[in-house]
A and B are shown apart, each in its own frame.
Chain A
Amino acid sequence: MANLTPELEKARLRIAKVAANCGLDYFETIFEIITYDQINQFAAYGGFPVRYPHWKFGMEYEHLSKSYEYGLSKIYEMVINTDPCYAYLMEGNLLMDQKLVMAHVYGHCDFFKNNIWFSKTNRKMMDQMANHATRIRRYIDRYGQDRVENFIDVCLSLENLIDRHSPYVERPTSRSKEESNSKPENESHLLKVTRPYMRDYINPPEFVRDQQKKRHEELERSQRKFPVESERDVLKFLLQYAPLEDWEQDVLSIIRDEAYYFAPQGMTKVMNEGWASYWHSRIMTEHILNDSEIIDFADHHSGTVAMQPNGFNPYKIGIELMRNIEDRWNKGQFGREWEECDDIKEKKHWDRKLGLGRQKIFEVRKIYNDVTFLDEFMTEDFCVQNKFFVYRFNEKTQRFEIDTRDFKAIKAKLLFQLTNFGQPIIRVQNANFENRGELLLEHLYEGIDLQPDYMSQTLRNVYKIWGRPVCLVTVMDNEAQIFRFDGQEFVHKNIASPLPQGSPA
């Protein structure tokens, strides 16, 4: 334990022991005390001590240090999902704060280790990031800072075009697909013949020829479209097929790797913070705090879980929902009998004394992500208790206003925000659009327009990688539109349907 003071080290040992007794199962965790300036640096680097050189980290750092200097925000805790876990404590915080952070961190570490969405994570990411940095520095030495940095800008602009679920899906390999397709090649389009001597009457030769020709044409048409199935991992597609130089390809793959590393953290933000907050408050209040610390603890804790009317605090929603689940499973408020009960009074005093709560939340932390977590466990009662509402922008008053407290609307909105991490879903539809080698991207429209200025800028960046004209199909102002950038000018036109002609529906 590198530089913990004896006092902190003593506290750490106690907290680690309590956490283990509670059933938390964490990677070995290494705490380090660092100054506020270092913590700002690490935070700007996404928690890592070494990243590739890029101005966006500098911007983040400026932002963090300014808000710290003006007393607007302060980072208490940072933990990196690696094995062993690294966590940072800020020099000069109260002892109580440090203890709280340690308890919180053990919650996170347990989550990192056990949640299924982290099962594919590279636990040696710290080395990996350092390697990335070395590679990029080497390119900078060879090709110049401006050139490499500009290309990184382009890559970062497409950073969110990955398929967050792909690491967990085991897709059939392309060969087995071909085999299954090729087998019925000659027979499927003919009428069924049970008696051999009837064959020429049921399927006369002209008919067979016609059918074969038709099939052939169909096949040809589908082959003209590439990829055959739309590809959600746009970055992967570009890596494989865009005309990039070796170093550019490597840079793009670095950006993609890092995006995939951070993806599960985005997918489990609510749960992860909820879980860690649940445990810090349990561990602290039940085992660690002494009388003189309780006020500070309450102050700090309530600050962490405070929710503003217009904000979305994952700590708050996470911890409340965790507690709610524990309570419901302790009392047996689940299952068919509970669902079918209409008597409000009975429901209110429903207690089967099952005591399954603890077991249930451990199960939840293992197999859920934010979307499934909220989808499954967020109930109407929970929404009412926590006074949730949906807000939206009112064109007339030009401000954001409370829209409704309808449970379904709240849940739909929350789930929508969390699906794909609140990012639009964009796929590669066709890499040979209009048979001109143009790249056609499609936006799976879900009722919200893309932001036009960002969209056009991003499309330009796609062009820089693809090297041929690029198009995007989306819906803007209630009309299906196709945007095209050919390297010179940016044009858009309305189209009849969201999907362009020539694509199999």
Chain B
Amino acid sequence: MAIKEDHNRFRDIIKGRVKEDLKKYVSHGEMIGKREKEFVKIPLPHIDIPTFRYGPKQRGGVGQGDGKSGDGVGEPGDGSGQGQAGSEPGEHLLEVELSIEELADILGEKLELPRILPKGNKNIDSVKTKYTGLAPVGPESLRHFKSSYKNALKRYVSSGLYNPEDPVIIPIRRDLEYRTYKKVVKPQTKAVVIYMMDVSGSMGEEQKEIVRIESFWINAWLKKHYKGLETRFIIHDAAAKEVDEETFFRTSESGGTLISSAYKLCQNIIEMDYPIHEWNVYPFHFSDGDNWSSEDTRYCLKLLTEFFLPNSNVFCYGQVESKYGSGQFLKDLQKEFPDDERIILSQIESRDKILDSIRDFLGKGK
């Protein structure tokens, strides 16, 4: 339909507006936990073509009904779906619905994120056939009885032949429809993202929120690129445990910090479930950089050098600024891996920096 073209054009304009103000929308916590097909409502300033028109306040109008002088009448709107007697006041917000997927797209455009090149056995496409379609020709054994019958019935009714007293329907050749198959090509790139979050006492509510928002959007973006992306979630304080997505985005714990506990658990998960020659592995770790002891930090560095760096596409570490944390861990990592391509470090000072940090992580297209 022709309108689709205009409609897409309008959606593009909306997306452009969202893109301009992306920071504002992205740093809202409400979207977290939505699935990629779910819609979010985004309030935008009204998109309108300006004309010379009267201001709404002085306008008033004529209404009908009971009531005495001084009674409220509510916001003037259009009665019974009939507008035009005066245009809408221009101050309403336009609420647009965008899916998380679309938002992730906008995010990608805004940050100019490159497409990710999967490693390893890239293009294992599996072809499946699915009987989903209907065609006017086919073998009798695949005749679709219901829709053939419907077609015949339609023809009877519309040509006036149908007699409810004697509802005999005789299909003719052009009523018949047959099942037909379609080839579905499934690209088989396997990827897993493992998110690790520090939930120790030094991470405040704001810090956790930042981590959640950031990992949510990273997740949304990666899911766009890897159909069937797997995600695992680990939270840790002094001990690490695997949790489901729900818990990861809601939980609040407290305690000491042993980063190595998370790394060990992560290593276990990878070794158990994701043979590295088949899988693209993305470990993300967020913390305030306050580790319990330098001994533990050394152990972490060892794990990184020996296991994570050789075996994952890229290892990402994001450090949130915190009042209590020393931020030492980031410095240690910088010292240990000054120019290593396989590790990406990013510092997130505040909510406003989330976008920059996402760009740090995903901007390299690994």
Contacts and interface: CB of A to CB of B under 8 A. Distances in A.
B9 A309 contact: no
Nearest to A389: B63
Interface string A460-497: 01000000000000000000000000000000000000
A375 to B, nearest CB: 14
Interface stretch (A202-210, A341-349, A431-439, A449-457): A449-457
B1 A455 contact: no
A311 B80 contact: yes
Interface stretch (A95-103, A108-116, A117-125, A156-164): A156-164
Interface residues of B, number: 56
A448 B49 CA distance: 21
Contacts of A29: none
Interface in B85-112: 85-87, 90
A307 B64 contact: yes
A50 B5 CA distance: 12
B74 A309 contact: yes
Contact of A410 (B8, B62, B67, B72): B62
A457 B86 contact: no
Contacts of A303: 80
Interface stretch (A15-23, A37-45, A79-87, A291-299): A37-45
Contact of B86 (A153, A316, A392, A417): A417
Interface string A309-327: 1111111100000000000
A355 interface: no
Interface stretch (A213-221, A281-289, A359-367, A393-401): A393-401
Chain A: number of interface residues, binned into ranges: 35 or more
Nearest to B76: A310
Interface in B4-37: 5-13
Q: Which of B50, B52, B81 has the most CB of A within 10 A?
A: B52
Contact of B76 (A62, A307, A313, A400): A400
Contact of B62 (A38, A401, A417): A417
Given A53-B9, A311-B78, A413-B60, A387 B66 contact: yes
Contacts of B51: 157-160, 423, 454, 458
A380 to B, nearest CB: 14
B173 interface: no
Contacts of B54: 422-424, 448-451
Contact of B6 (A58, A160, A309, A414): A58
A158 B7 CA distance: 23
A358 interface: no
A426 interface: yes
B133 interface: no
The listed residue with most A CB atoms (<10 A of its CB), out of B10, B51, B65, B72, is B51
Contacts of A313: 64, 79-80, 82
B69 interface: yes
Contacts of A443: 52
Interface in A156-205: 156-161
Interface string A31-59: 00000011011001100001101111111
A305 B66 CA distance: 17
A288 B103 CA distance: 53
A261 interface: no
A315 B80 CA distance: 9
A308 B50 contact: no
Given A308-B77, A314-B85, A386-B64, A450 B9 contact: no
Interface string B147-162: 0000000000111100
A57 B63 contact: no
A41 to B, nearest CB: 4
A362 to B, nearest CB: 25
Given A308-B79, A311-B76, A387-B66, A403 B60 contact: yes
A58 B72 contact: no
B61 interface: yes
Interface string B33-54: 0000000000000010111111
Given A57-B6, A449-B58, A41 B13 contact: no
Contacts of A159: 51
A404 interface: yes
Contacts of B86: 312, 417, 422
A308 B56 contact: no
Interface string A48-92: 001101111111011000010000011100000000000000000
A404 B11 CA distance: 44
Given A391-B60, A417-B61, A424-B54, A55 B9 contact: yes
Nearest to B71: A402
B90 A451 contact: yes
B1 to A, nearest CB: 6
Contacts of A335: none
A474 to B, nearest CB: 9
Contacts of B50: 157, 453-455, 457-458, 461
B3 interface: yes
Given A310-B75, A400-B72, A453-B90, A266 B84 contact: yes
Given A55-B10, A417-B86, A401 B79 contact: no
Nearest to A67: B81
B146 interface: no
Contact of A59 (B10, B65, B77): B10
Contacts of B59: 393, 448
A312 B8 CA distance: 33
Contacts of A405: 69
Contacts of A158: 51
A422 B59 CA distance: 10
Interface of B: 1-3, 5-13, 47, 49-82, 84-87, 90, 157-160
Given A53-B6, A58-B7, A424-B54, 16 more contacts: A45-B3, A58-B5, A58-B8, A59-B10, A156-B49, A305-B80, A308-B63, A308-B77, A309-B64, A309-B65, A312-B63, A313-B64, A313-B80, A391-B63, A405-B69, A448-B54
Interface of A: 5-6, 37-38, 40-41, 44-45, 50-51, 53-59, 61-62, 67, 73-75, 149, 153, 156-161, 266, 269, 273, 303-316, 386-393, 395, 397, 399-405, 410, 413-414, 417, 422-424, 426, 443, 447-455, 457-458, 461
- Top-4 shortest CB links A-B: A311-B79, A58-B10, A392-B60, A457-B50
